[in-house]
Amino acid sequence: MNSTRQSAGNEVGERIIISIDAMGGDRGPSAVVSGMARSQRKNPDIGFIVHGRRDELEPLIARKRGLGDVCEIRDVPDIVTMTEKPAQVIRNGKNTSMWSALDSVKQGEAEVCVSCGNTGALMMLSVVRLRKLPGVDRPAIAVLWPSRNPQGFNVMLDAGADIRADERDLATYSAMGVAYARSGLGIERPRVGLLNVGTEEHKGRAELKLAHEHLQAASVDSDFDYVGFVEGGDLPSDRCDVVVTDGFTGNVALKTGEGTANLIADQLREAFRYSILSRLASLLALTSLRRLKKRIDPRRVNGGVFLGLNGTVVKSHGSADSTGVSAAIKLAYLLTQQRFSEKLAARVASAPNLPQTATTGGNGGSSE
Amino acid sequence: MNSTRQSAGNEVGERIIISIDAMGGDRGPSAVVSGMARSQRKNPDIGFIVHGRRDELEPLIARKRGLGDVCEIRDVPDIVTMTEKPAQVIRNGKNTSMWSALDSVKQGEAEVCVSCGNTGALMMLSVVRLRKLPGVDRPAIAVLWPSRNPQGFNVMLDAGADIRADERDLATYSAMGVAYARSGLGIERPRVGLLNVGTEEHKGRAELKLAHEHLQAASVDSDFDYVGFVEGGDLPSDRCDVVVTDGFTGNVALKTGEGTANLIADQLREAFRYSILSRLASLLALTSLRRLKKRIDPRRVNGGVFLGLNGTVVKSHGSADSTGVSAAIKLAYLLTQQRFSEKLAARVASAPNLPQTATTGGNGGSSE
């Protein structure tokens, strides 16, 4: 479990070191460096290993007061573009900032890596370079979902690392989600729900029923509660803290939620533009609206997290601005501080095993 | 194709007859009768066959001016409750209002039936009583999704009739969705998208790739356009008019969208309650907010439609009030007027066949 490596940068009095892929995002390295500067102002004990072109990064970093003192630049010439196929990156990506940033985690220089780059390439490269944790067949992407819970967010996984998940993967996702909710959201006793098309026990695909039985048993005398099947409407609800699903469903749900929120925001803007009276009202309402916007601003929950590897990778939106990047770094900082990677590995290792069944590896479920 | 039956109630000068299950909803028959009265005021040529307990229905109908003149009551003693299992209803449901309402469609007295009852029971009973259309393996539930398109809505199917769909089902859903978009939304040349986790051709499950190839070929020289893979964020977008997916994914997406919209609405209310200034603002903004609410009011898009049967069934929300019921009846009226059931049957019958492959019947897809 190589805990020496896992706890790197996490000793009392030491800096908390984050490995940063500074080059991959749509807005280029300046948004990333601005985000780093914001994080550094809030957390003076943070430190960065920054991967990218030194000639571009050095002047950007120099412009931010004090940032240069906590940055070590690793000069690498290449960049993984947004359109590059993951397989290409595996073959030819040795000199990219993404590869180099992951290697800092692999070498134990940092526990968590942050990248705004191409998700598919980042995921595949993370698996190849960091390797899966013992006991994990399919790593997952966990996202924070704005919710009615006191902590303001639920954890949903898998948000799209793999398009399939069998009952064993779903059980693993539950264990990883519980670890993440504890370290990332500070929830002592997370409540886990399994995403389905209804809450009745007889509903859904075969792998869901098997995972349901397993989680019922596994939650007995454990440090999490299993609330049973939940539905799409429960993603933003306070019924549970962790929502477990396969990556196909999770990805569609995530993008549907984002799309719906964007549509409503646009319509709200339009409604307020409609008449002079409504313009006046919107002016008066500005503070209220700003408060709401801050609450549901997707940039503030920026950061899907790759779980199930030897080390943790925070994927920031490709289009993230400095607010978004700084949110992703804040999460990476928190997870490092909490020794999250270590705790996750321990939890997966100690999770009760689910026997391999006939349906494992496929999605052949039976309907009701 | 028994077109005599299909066109019942649709002759020039005749009433457009809708079959109404008046008993199943959470709010009881009074909400249903109020909805009928609203619809009748707007469409004087409408007529109803109303199924339920005469002693409850007669006084409710008598209270609405003129409604009694266009209503024929079928006295049936039993009600399908919200918790009843579909199989129970099939065995013992002969004397329920739901059964009777569907039989009016089966007998050709009406082309479309409207019910607020238990979805699972209604779906299974519809399949058993009306039978699937030739060429349809899995009927689907189509819903209207608020969107940025000029018509204000997109069609999504399947929203949860079945938890699986193979490539042939997806192709059938596309044909049915095109027919619905033409009759229900008046779109001459609907654009169809296939819901996936990315828009690249190599992404997604095996059945999606096969359906993708089929739709590319089928759209050539046809009266619809195929735009390729779409993502969750495109459900409310103007990229397409019809979004095709399996019922598991569709159901989760639908409930996620609703849940997200509800969360935002609540937070908006809260934001406006925050201070005296914001209360004042919300007072001024009331008209704008009402306009927005009307636009995204789920009651106004009330009505999932069961497609792929001999006759059409409009499922209204169980909790629908008179506005919701009247929206569902309006849709039923429009579809009858358009001879929708007939057109749908013709389209499915003439759709090019997709060969049965090894993956048919299961969800065994291969990942990329």
Instruction: List domains and CATH numbers for chain A.
Output: 1-135+308-353 (3.40.718.10), 137-301 (3.40.718.10)
**What pLDDT score does B317 carry?**
81
Chain B residue numbers touching A278 (CB-CB < 8 A) = 284-285, 287-288
Are A223 and A187 a contacting pair, CB within 8 Å? no
Q: How far is B320 from chain A (nearest CA, A)?
A: 18
* Residue B36 pLDDT > 70: yes
Best of A251, A254, A255 to disrupt the B interface (most B CBs within 10 Å) is A255
Confidence class for position B5, pLDDT limits 50, 70, 90? very low
* Cα→Cα distances B34→A196, A211, B37, B41, B73, Å: 34, 45, 5, 11, 15
Q: How far is B232 from chain A (nearest CA, A)?
A: 4
* Nearest Cβ partner for A236 among B164, B259, B296: B259
Which residue reads 């995921």 in tokens? A123
Q: What is the distance of C-alpha B68 from the center of its chain?
A: 27
d(CA B87, CA A200): 15
Chain A residue numbers touching B253 (CB-CB < 8 A) = 232, 252-253, 256
* Tens of pLDDT, residues B45-71: 999 999 999 999 999 999 999 999 999
d(CA A110, CA A127): 17
* Nearest Cβ partner for A231 among B162, B255, B275: B255
Are B295 and B325 a contacting pair, CB within 8 Å? no
Does residue B86 come out as left (phi exceeding 0), alpha (psi in the -120 to 50 range) or beta? alpha
Q: Do A271 and B291 touch (CB under 8 A)?
A: yes
Q: Do A263 and B288 touch (CB under 8 A)?
A: no
Chain B residue numbers touching A158 (CB-CB < 8 A) = none
Are A228 and A208 a contacting pair, CB within 8 Å? no
Chain B residue numbers touching A232 (CB-CB < 8 A) = 251-259
Q: Do B163 and A254 touch (CB under 8 A)?
A: no
**What pLDDT score does B310 carry?**
96
**What pLDDT score does B288 carry?**
61
Chain B residue numbers touching A279 (CB-CB < 8 A) = none
Q: Do B195 and A236 touch (CB under 8 A)?
A: no
Are B109 and B17 a contacting pair, CB within 8 Å? yes
Alpha-carbon torsion angle B308, B314, B318, B319, nearest 10: 140
Chain B residue numbers touching A282 (CB-CB < 8 A) = 281, 285, 288
**What pLDDT score does B128 carry?**
95
Are A309 and A126 a contacting pair, CB within 8 Å? yes
Closest-CA residue of A relative to B145 is A260
Q: What b-and-e string marks burial along A308-324, b requiring 16 or more CB atoms within 10 Å of the CB?
A: bbbbbbbbbbbebbbbb
d(CA B188, CA B336): 18
**What pLDDT score does A299 carry?**
54
Chain A residue numbers touching B280 (CB-CB < 8 A) = 284
Q: Do A259 and B295 touch (CB under 8 A)?
A: no
d(CA B256, CA B243): 16
* Tens of pLDDT, residues B81-123: 888 888 889 999 999 999 999 999 999 999 999 999 888 899 9
* Nearest Cβ partner for B205 among A197, A248, A251: A248
Q: Do A235 and B256 touch (CB under 8 A)?
A: yes
* Residue B355 pLDDT > 70: no
Q: How far is B119 from chain A (nearest CA, A)?
A: 11
* Nearest Cβ partner for A288 among B162, B278, B363: B278
**What pLDDT score does B70 carry?**
96
**What pLDDT score does A2 carry?**
38
Chain A residue numbers touching B268 (CB-CB < 8 A) = 268, 292
Q: Do B281 and A288 touch (CB under 8 A)?
A: yes
Closest-CA residue of A relative to B278 is A285
**What pLDDT score does A240 carry?**
97
Q: How many CA atoms lie within 13 Å of A361's alpha carbon, on the beta-carbon side?
A: 4
Q: Which residues pair with A156 in a beta bridge?
A: A143, A243
Chain A residue numbers touching B304 (CB-CB < 8 A) = none
* Residue B358 pLDDT > 50: no
Q: Pull the structure tokens for residue B192.
A: 């169809």
DSSP SS3 for B265: helix
Does residue B166 come out as left (phi exceeding 0), alpha (psi in the -120 to 50 range) or beta? beta
Q: Do A267 and B295 touch (CB under 8 A)?
A: yes
* Tens of pLDDT, residues B302-347: 668 999 999 999 998 877 888 889 999 999 999 999 999 999 999 9
Prior bond of A26 cis (ω within 30°): no
Counting residues of chain B whose pLDDT is more than 70, the rounded percentage is 83
Low-confidence ranges of chain A (pLDDT < 50): 1-12, 358-368
Closest-CA residue of A relative to B160 is A197
Chain A residue numbers touching B284 (CB-CB < 8 A) = 277-278, 280-281, 284-285
Closest-CA residue of B relative to A83 is B200
* Residue B362 pLDDT > 70: no
d(CA A18, CA A70): 11
**What pLDDT score does B368 carry?**
31
* Nearest Cβ partner for B284 among A233, A284, A291: A284
Chain A residue numbers touching B365 (CB-CB < 8 A) = 163-164, 363
Q: Do A252 and B231 touch (CB under 8 A)?
A: yes
Q: Do B147 and A264 touch (CB under 8 A)?
A: no
d(CA B337, CA A243): 44
Are B142 and B157 a contacting pair, CB within 8 Å? yes
Q: Pull the structure tokens for residue B32.
A: 């249903």
**What pLDDT score does A267 carry?**
75
* Nearest Cβ partner for A253 among B147, B252, B263: B252
DSSP SS3 for B207: helix
Element containing residue B178 per DSSP (H, E): helix B167-185
Are A32 and A116 a contacting pair, CB within 8 Å? yes
In this structure, of A194-203, B15-24, B158-167, the range with the lowest mean pLDDT score is A194-203
* Tens of pLDDT, residues B128-152: 999 999 999 999 999 988 889 998 8
